[in-house]
Amino acid sequence: MLAQTVERLPGLVEYANILVLTNQEQRDAVIESCPMLPPANIIAEPVGRDTAAAVGLAALVVAQRDPAATIAMLPADHVIHDAVGFRDVLKAAFEAAEEKPRLVTLGITPTAPATGYGYIQRGNQVAKFGAHPVLEVKRFVEKPQLETAEEYLDSGDYLWNAGMFVWAVPTIQQALAQHAPEVAAEIDAVERACCDGQTLDAALAEHFPAIKKISIDFAVMERADNVVTLATTFDWDDVGEWPAVMRHFQPDDAGNVIRGRAVVEGGHGNLVVSSKDHLVAIVGADDLIVVQTADATLVCPKSEAQNVKSIVKRLGDDPRFKHLL
């Protein structure tokens, strides 16, 4: 999926200008997965500090190449088949961000009352680029209950928040300084260390762990008054949760999706992911997610998939399991 995200961009952004933010543990795997990118374009965070820190780091790295550049922040867990339509909307977003100091977010036109996504309430049109209106953002809304999500869908005033952003480097750096000064201060410390001769990796190791963990949505987007959105016209799926994986593979006659060495007997609607050298067998169980890897196994009902993040947090807080994360 990371490689697919990268491969959607040429024609609008060339490989030399595509950077990947990852962590130290996955850096080599990312380099291997994306041989089309220069290894220097793979930037590794020493620790995870959420998306505000990632945005600040991205802006810093790009600014070292071109202080006036406009950048897009694109998650690597999205499935988009219409690459041409995607680039067309993204081009309009670049133009909107370059015309004025705007923070641009791409909004997905909802197709169902989803409760697993945040929402964007759109306002009046403020510009148009090509076939794509630029709309002011009235507010961001957290993941709603089903009844509220149905109201949003019926109103036609709301878009799903896809977490795809476009902005000029000076615009986002100013926004971080204004709305998240504690994040901006540590990013500035990284920049000063690099100017004093430290490598980026060394500067990040010294300063990045001190950055407050906060999302770019909470830190900036929900506070700024220069946020706009473009309603997308391409297909989109956020495969950030295990049940979403099932939408992209052919199920068997009982609705089970099996990847790897696994078998289901008398069960329906299960997702089973296993390695090639380990057999997973399910007997008489329905609607489970079972994921087996070399060092961990996950078992949960599909209805509880959104709570996987809770167990990950619990493991991260327990010194017995931190080495797994």
pLDDT digits (tens, 9 = 90+) for 209-220: 999 999 999 999
pLDDT at 275 over 70: yes
Mean pLDDT for the stretch of residues 50-79: 96
- Domain at 182, CATH number: 3.90.550.10
Q: At what angle do helices 200-207 and 181-195 cross, to 10 degrees?
A: 140
Report the 10 Å Cβ neighbour count for 32: 8
62, two tokens: 């790009």
What local confidence, expressed as pLDDT, does residue 325 receive?
A: 61
Q: Are residues 228 and 246 in the same domain?
A: no
| φ, ψ of residue 235 in degrees (nearest 5) | -70, 150
Helix or strand (DSSP H, E) at 136:
strand 132-141
Q: Are residues 110 and 210 in the same domain?
A: yes
Q: Are residues 83 and 226 in the same domain?
A: yes
Q: At what angle do helices 169-179 and 181-195 cross, to 10 degrees?
A: 120
pLDDT in tens, 117-139: 899 999 999 999 999 999 999 99
Q: Are residues 225 and 253 in the same domain?
A: no
Q: Are residues 115 and 247 in the same domain?
A: no
Chain center to CA of 133: 24
Which pairs with CB-CB distance under 8 Å and at least 24 residues apart come from 261-269?
A: 262/290, 269/302
Q: Are residues 57 and 77 in the same domain?
A: yes
Report the 10 Å Cβ neighbour count for 131: 9
Instruction: Tell me the one-letter amino acid at 319.
Output: P
pTM, rounded to two decimals: 0.84
What local confidence, expressed as pLDDT, does residue 291 receive?
A: 95
More confident residue, 98 or 246: 98
Which of these three, 210, 238, 266, is where a domain ends? Answer: 238
Q: Are residues 187 and 205 in the same domain?
A: yes
Of the candidates 53, 130, 78, the one whose C-alpha atom is nearest the C-alpha of residue 99 is: 130
Which of these three, 169, 204, 238, is where a domain ends? Answer: 238
What local confidence, expressed as pLDDT, does residue 294 receive?
A: 86
Domain housing 67: 2-238
More confident residue, 226 or 112: 226
Residue 308, class by beta-carbon neighbours within 10 Å (0-12 exposed, 13-18 middle, 19+ buried)?
middle
